[in-house]
Amino acid sequence: MHTHPADPSILAHCVAIVRSGNDTDGAALMRLAEKLRFGAVLGPTTKVVPHDYDHRLVFFLVHFDLDVAARRLVLQAVRQSGSVSLSFAPVVLFLREAKPEEVLANVELGFDDVINVPEDGRVMATRLATQIGQEHLYIETRNYLGPDRHRLDRHQPVTPNRKPEEPHARLTILRTVEAGVTIVRRQEAHKPH
């Protein structure tokens, strides 16, 4: 896999789009994005026009005030945007002092990362920067497009409510400042007979 060490300063070349349930929480998450030194920060009411973000690195930062149904809607809107730059943008959920089960449940929803706050700013920026300059495996099925939800299986027991494997495509993506999002490989996988 193609990798570079995570450099938090790379966030200066990225756009953060905040999603929250209310203006107060949205403003708090925008302030955090500014402290993490994103190059541009757009608020919760921003209308996303896909072609505005071609060849740009975009992050969606989601506030913990959104309930599970609203989180699913955010993920669905991003993944079905019709733009490679947006559909494969990192969607990161910020939770407040969540238990490991809650973090895992949100990874299962399809978030690229789930960050517990409060957390040190440098640690958060470094984690966000790992989304850039490294290959990431995405899965595409009839009902899902997002990061490989099995990526944590080696760290956690397998969730018993997972569906048997269905036909899917394995997409290896790479995000860089120079090219934005690139699909490096696409591999079709079919359900075993």
- Model pTM score: 0.87
The better pLDDT of the pair 158, 170 is held by: 170
Find the DSSP H helices in the chain.
Answer: 23-35, 68-79, 84-87, 100-109, 121-129
- Is a pLDDT exceeding 90 seen at residue 26? yes
38-54: buried (b, 16+ CB within 10 Å) or exposed (e) per residue? Answer: beebbbbeeebeeeebe
C-alpha distance from residue 125 to each of 33, 34, 128, 150 (Å): 9, 11, 5, 24
Domains of the chain, by residue range, sit at: 8-189
Cβ count near 167 (within 10 Å) = 11
Contacts of 164 (CB under 8 A, 6+ apart): 191
| CATH number 3.20.20.70 is the correct assignment for the domain at 8-189 | no
Q: Give per-residue pLDDT as tens, 30-85.
A: 999 999 999 999 988 777 776 666 657 999 999 999 999 999 999 999 999 888 88
Residue 33 φ then ψ, to 5°: -60, -40
For residue 131, which amino acid is it? Answer: Q
